[in-house]
Amino acid sequence: MYKIPENFDVSEIINQVIFQIAFGLNFVSLFFDKGFIQFSGSFSFKSVVGFISYLEVYPIKDDLGLLRLLQKKITNIHINNDRNELRIEFEDKSELCLIGNRYESFLIHINGTEIRV
């Protein structure tokens, strides 16, 4: 498992607005002006309708509640001490937490720089 490098500045996505959400066979991608975040591993999502937690994205059978994030602004980013979890807060108080496990679980692409966790 990889970790989020100390020198990778995730704060650049604060104030970015999600303009597209794409669902693949075994991944979800969130697009914003400066890049995208793609995840296929463990994640949790808290919104006004409740809390869900998944060990993996596959198989995608519905939108997992994530379509609520369309046109929402990212207001804050948190990385845990082990640097293998990324919690993204949105303007409507929703929270998406991407959890790195022993496999590559998520990819962050910002301004042409990319990391895998």
* pLDDT tens-digit readout, 81-93: 998 899 999 999 9
Residue 5 lies in a domain: no
- At 102 the pLDDT is 67
Q: What is the pTM of this model?
A: 0.91
Residue 60 lies in a domain: yes
Number of domains into which the chain is organized: 1
Residue 105 lies in a domain: yes
Residue 4 lies in a domain: no
Asked if 8 and 115 count as a contact pair (C-beta separation under 8 A), the reply is yes
Residue 108 lies in a domain: yes
- At 104 the pLDDT is 67
- Tell me: cis bond preceding 59? Omega within 30 of 0 counts: yes
Asked if 39 and 106 count as a contact pair (C-beta separation under 8 A), the reply is yes
Q: Which domain holds residue 80?
A: 10-116
- At 26 the pLDDT is 86
pLDDT 10s digits, 4-61: 889 988 999 999 999 999 998 889 999 999 999 999 888 999 998 889 888 877 777 7
Residue 55 lies in a domain: yes
Residue 2 lies in a domain: no
